[in-house]
Amino acid sequence: MPVSLANSQRIYDALKACDVKIISALPETWLVHLIRMADDDPEMTLVRIAKEEEAIGISAGAHLAGVQSACLMQNHGFLAAINPIVSLALLYKIPLLMLISYRGHMGEKDPWQTMGGLTTEPLLRALNIPIWHLANPDDVARRLKDAQTLANAALHPVAVLLARELMWED
């Protein structure tokens, strides 16, 4: 499976540098290494959820309890979580660090992923959620830290879109 192990490790190290202690995740191909790293790390609480909506609640709870968290999801998972993003995170000013694998965008061969790819950024913009694209390995640490910093300062969700160039080695 040509998911980049090296870049997954960079992302995981960056999350650790952000003091993330709880990661909620629903498996998706591009996230396999990240989820395994979280599972193998005794300092990390990995919550394997049944649907991405739960991740928004878990991160909201973690924030109110004073613990940094992150949500790992595919962009179709972001689509599934829009109601709680609106009616919990935005309504109650909850910071969220959402790492979203950006399926269905440039280079996508699977037709079934493409509609999610075409709608992800317009919907994030409609929700006024700031977007960082992560395509360059050298940007990973800085951009994840800056995304978390903004989320915590603005008490607002932020989206980090994990690009094919970063995650997939063809």
Smallest distance from another protein to CB 128, Å: 17
Q: Which residues pair with 97 in a beta bridge?
A: 158
Mask: binding to another protein, 19-38, rule CB under 8 A, as x and -?
Answer: --xx----------------
Compute the distance between CA of residue 138 and CA of residue 140 in angstroms, rounded to an integer: 6
The pairs formed by 122-128 with CB atoms below 8 angstroms and a separation of 24 or more are 123/78, 123/79, 123/82, 124/78, 124/159, 127/82, 127/85, 127/86, 127/90, 127/157, 128/156
Smallest distance from another protein to CB 168, Å: 28
- Binding residues among 35-64 for another protein as defined by CB under 8 A: 45, 47-51, 53-64
Residue among 62 and 124 whose Cβ is closer to another protein: 62
Residue among 51 and 142 whose Cβ is closer to another protein: 51
- Binding residues among 103-142 for another protein as defined by CB under 8 A: none
Q: Which residues pair with 100 in a beta bridge?
A: 73, 161
Residue among 50 and 106 whose Cβ is closer to another protein: 50
Q: Which amino acid is at 69?
A: S
- The tokens for 97 are 């660090």
Interface residues toward another protein, by CB under 8 A: 21-22, 45, 47-51, 53-67, 69, 83-84, 87-88, 91-93
